[in-house]
Amino acid sequence: MTILYNKVTIIGLGLIGASIALATRRAGVAGHITGCDSGDNIADEIASLDLVDSFVADAGDAVNDADLVIMAVPVGALGALSAAIIPKMKPGAVLTDTGSTKRSVMRDVAPNIAPHIHWLPSHPIAGTERSGPSAGHATLFDERYWIILPLDVPTDVVDHFASYIEALGSISERMEPDYHDKVLALTSHLPHLIAYTIVGTAVDLEGQLKNDVIRFSASGFRDFTRIAASDPVMWRDVFLNNDEAVLEMLQRFSEDLSFLQRAIRWQEGDKLEELFTRTREIRRSIIDAGQS
């Protein structure tokens, strides 16, 4: 493979950051990969996992001379982090992030942007319920969408970055911040909120019933517990930062749920069956789209 960036610096080596490091190495598209993470005693773990070519504890030092800087931290931390590193970045370097809420990234990072760098927010739509450096996997992005927000970055710089994320296995896609947040509110944020809620409802049950819910989880509940095991801080930040779109989709969801609740109470089987038949079609569309 061709080297696309001489030096890639990844700040935050959780599930996403560690996976980017491993996928970059697999693709052979970076001359050098530097990792940075502020977690307690994390340097030894990073070293033992052999994720990066060099580990630098200080973010300002880590971005020194980097051609691409990837901020893979919870969205709530992007404002302060970008303020700290942008002055240390070299002219012409590209700065991106992997945050799930793009309107808030625009709001928090924009004030810190300096004209000597290219700011290109992005979002890889991939993940698992596991978190931390050891959860990283080189194949995480294979055949998954990775959304780029081109803003006013020159086309050749955007195209070059798109080549990089495609070399990591992903399908690149361009989108506007508002639309991104709306799509993600329904495809990702609301499902997580609901999974957290129902698992929370189970947590609050009395002893024996709670134990039996765990024992008999294979009947549907189990899928929700997987989603609800996702990283708490990352998801706290997602809901705080995409509150508008999430609350709008939640309102629609609540109305639809009330409709079904009423149908159950009044024994209106035809309404239930009609909806359950329509929802099947969506599954077929997803299978047809190769995302199943």
What residues from 77 to 106 belong to the interface with a copy of itself (CB under 8 A)?
none
What are 86-90's contacts with CB under 8 Å, separation 24+?
86/112, 86/113, 86/114, 86/117, 87/114, 88/60, 88/61, 88/63, 88/64, 89/63, 89/116, 89/117, 90/64, 90/65, 90/66, 90/116
Interface with a copy of itself (CB under 8 A), residue from 43, 49, 157, 275: 275
| Contact between 212 and a copy of itself per CB under 8 A | yes
Residue 225 is a binding residue for a copy of itself (CB under 8 A): yes
Residue 193 touching a copy of itself (CB under 8 A): yes
DSSP string, 172-219: EEE--HHHHHHHHIIIIIHHHHHHHHHHHHHHTS-HHHHHHHHHTGGG
Instruction: List binders of a copy of itself among 122-141 (CB under 8 A).
Output: 125-127, 129
User: Token pair of 7, please?
Assistant: 């030096």
Among candidates 64, 81, 65, 80, which has minimal Cα distance to 17?
81
Q: Which residue lies nearer to a copy of itself by CB, 4 or 105?
A: 105
Computed from CA positions of residues 71, 225, 178, 174, in that sequence, does the dihedral angle turn out positive or negative? positive
**Count of residues in contact with a copy of itself, rule CB under 8 A:** 92
> Does 200 participate in binding a copy of itself (rule CB under 8 A)?
yes
Q: Which of 43, 144, 153, 160 binds a copy of itself (CB under 8 A)?
A: 144
Using DSSP's 3-state secondary structure scheme, residue 94 falls into strand
Least distance CB 163 / a copy of itself (angstroms): 21
Give whichever of 51 and 195 is closer to a copy of itself, judged by the CB atom: 195
Q: How far is the CB of 255 from a copy of itself (least distance, A)?
A: 9
* Position 134, amino acid: S
Residue 220 near a copy of itself by CB under 8 A:
yes
What is the distance between the alpha carbons of residues 28 and 172, in angstroms, rounded to a whole number? 18
Please report whether residue 58 would count as binding a copy of itself according to CB under 8 A: no
The one among 61, 159, 178, 223 contacting a copy of itself by CB under 8 A = 223
| Cβ atoms of 51 and 136 closer than 8 Å | yes
Beta carbon nearer to a copy of itself, 67 or 237: 237
Per CB under 8 A, which of residues 171..190 are in contact with a copy of itself? Answer: 179, 182-184, 186-190
Residue 151 interacting with a copy of itself (CB under 8 A): no
Residue 281 engages a copy of itself in binding (rule: CB under 8 A): yes
Residue located via tokens 């580990």 = 55
